[in-house]
Amino acid sequence: MTDDMEPNSEQLLKATCDGDARAVSVALALGASVDCTDTTNDFGATPLICAATDGHVEVVQLLLANGADIERRAKYGISALYQAVSWERPEVVQTLLYSGANVDGVSSDGTTPLMIAAARGNLEIVRFLLAHGAAPDSRDDHGWNSWVWAMDKGEEEIAQFLAVAGATAAFPEKVPDA
């Protein structure tokens, strides 16, 4: 960590990445900010984003119980839910959604967790996101919806499932060169 990071926050970030719930509790009791930001790189992850990425469900629950901002974003508009989906952590995805995470929260390029789950070919997470109200036909900055993301990665079963759920089953028209 860096010199400008408080020692308790440094301890909290390490504990969340390690999945050490006891050490997380200690760091919080010593005054670490539950929403501190990792300053060792330019991604700027919070403890919740770190725990979600690594699949530490107990730590995610502990951080949320201590007031972690479920919608706090790292670089590129990446949220804890987005990371849990990206790293295929279904238990964390469920925990975050049951705790009120925005199922359609977009990253800086307009991608949603459903698009990422579709591209990863994770039907379990796709189903769970849809059951929590994810919009199957949302479009990213390139005009792609979840169906296009699935087809682009060869995930035809997922694409078919998404079409039934309401995603437009067609590739977007190409934008003519200016």
Q: Is the pLDDT of residue 175 over 60?
A: no
**pLDDT higher for 41 or 57?**
57
Distances (CA, A) of 84 to 140, 142, 163, 169: 19, 23, 24, 26
CATH 1.25.40.20 fits 103-168, yes or no: yes
pLDDT in tens, 44-90: 899 999 999 999 999 999 999 999 999 999 988 899 999 999 999 99
Q: What own/partner pairs with CB < 8 Å and gap ≥ 24 does 2-5 have?
A: 2/39, 2/40, 4/39, 5/36, 5/39
Angle between helices 47-54 and 57-65 (to 10 degrees): 160
The residues spanned by each domain of the chain are: 1-75, 103-168
* CATH T-level topology, domain 1-75: 1.25.40
Q: Using a pLDDT cut of 90, give the percent of the chain over it.
A: 83
- pLDDT bin (cut points 50, 70, 90) of residue 176 is very low
Is the pTM higher than 0.75? The answer reads yes
Region 85-102 average pLDDT: 98
